[in-house]
Amino acid sequence: MKAGLIQDPMVEAMGNFMTRLSRRQQVVASNIANIDTPGYETRDVSFHLTMQEILSGDSLPLKTRKPEGGLLQGWTPIPSEPEVFETSGLPMRADRNNVDIDREMLKLSETSFTYAVATQLLRGKFRTISSAIQEGRSG
Amino acid sequence: MSLMTAIEVSASGLTAQRRRLEVLISNLVNANTTRPAGTEPYRRKDVVFTASEPQGSFESAFGEAMGAVRGVEITQVVADRGEPARRYEPGHPHADKDGYVLYPNINAMEEMVNILSATRSYEANVQATTAAKEMAVKTLDIAR
C-alpha cells in the first residue's frame, strides 16, 4: 500500500467501512419497509465480522468471510459488494415473515452511530493533514 | 448514492402503510353501511403487501446488484369473504322481505388494532428515513 495523504490505508479502510455501513442501512430500511409483507425474510450485511477484522489489525484493506465459515478459514478478499445474507434462527410469524421490529430499530441506531464514529475518525485524520499544511497554526 | 436508496426504500414503506391506513379507515367508517336488499353488502377490505425492487434509483437503473434490498408495494386490495351480519330491522329501508338488513362483516376493535399496527410501522419507516438522513449529513461533516 502506498503511503500518502490520500492513499492512506486508514482512509481507504474507513471508506470501505462506511460503504458497508450504508449498505447495511439500506438492508435494514428494506427489512423495516417489509415488516408486514408475507413471506419476507430478514436480511443483514456481514458487519460485525468486518469490525473484528479491523480490530485484528493486519487485514487492511477490509476483507470479509462467509458467516457460516469457521473461525480461521474461509477468508476471502473484499468483494465490491458486501455480503448480504438472510438471517436464520429468528422466530417466524404465521405469514412466514420473521422481521423483528425491535431488532431492526436497534440495528438502525447502531449503524447510524457507528457511521458517525467513522466520520469523526476520518474528520480527525483530515484535520491532522490540514494542520500539517498550515504548519500547525490552526486546525 | 446508497443512502438515497435507503430513503427510497423507507419512502415505499411509508406510502404502503399510509394506503393501508386509508383502507382500514374506510372499513371503520363503513362499519354500519347498509345497501338495498338483494345487493352485495359492503365488505371489509385489506391490502396485500409485496416486496418490490426500489423504484427509480440510480443503482437499479444500471442493473447493479440490488437483489437484497427491497421496497414494498401494495399489489392488491382484497375484499374479505366473511359472512355479513344479519340484523332484524323490519322498519329499515334496506330490509329484505323477512325484515333482515345485511350489515358488513366489520369488527371495529379489529380495525382499531390494525390501524395501530399500521401507525407503528409507519413510525418505524420514519425513523429509518431520519437515520439515513443523519448519516448523509454526517458524511458532509467530514469535509467541514
Contact A22 B2 (CB under 8 A): yes
User: Nearest CA to A31 among B104, B68, B98?
Assistant: B68
Give me the residues paired with residue A76 across strands: A64
Alpha-carbon span A8 to A118, nearest angstrom: 15
Which of A25, A35, A101 is closest, CB to CB, to B132?
A25
Based on the number of CB atoms within 10 Å of its own CB, is A99 exposed (0-12), middle (13-18) or buried (19 or more)?
A: buried
Q: B141: pLDDT confidence band, cut at 50, 70 and 90?
A: confident
The pLDDT tens digits of the residues spanning B16-44 come to 999 999 999 999 999 988 888 888 888 99
> Quick one: DSSP state of residue A110?
H
Kindly state the average pLDDT of the residues A101-122.
92
Judge contact between B44 and B82, C-beta under 8 A. Answer: yes
Find chain B residues with C-beta within 8 A of A30's C-beta.
9, 51, 68-71
Interface predicted TM-score of the whole assembly (ipTM), two decimals: 0.82
Collapsed DSSP state (helix, strand, coil) of residue B106? coil
Report cis status (omega within 30 of 0) of the bond before A61.
yes
> pTM (2 decimals)?
0.78
Q: What is the pLDDT of residue A82?
A: 62
A79 Cα distance to chain centroid? 13
The pLDDT tens digits of the residues spanning A36-83 come to 999 999 988 876 555 665 566 554 444 444 444 444 343 333 444 567
Residues 6+ apart with CB under 8 A from A44: A24, A27, A84, A85, A87, A107
From residue A15, give the alpha-carbon distance in Å to each of A60, B20, B96: 12, 39, 72
Judge contact between A98 and A90, C-beta under 8 A. Answer: yes
B79: cell is: 375484499
Kind of pairing between the strands at B85-88 and B100-103: antiparallel
The residue of A18, A23, A26 whose CB has the most chain B CBs within 10 angstroms, and thus the best one to mutate to test that interface, is: A26
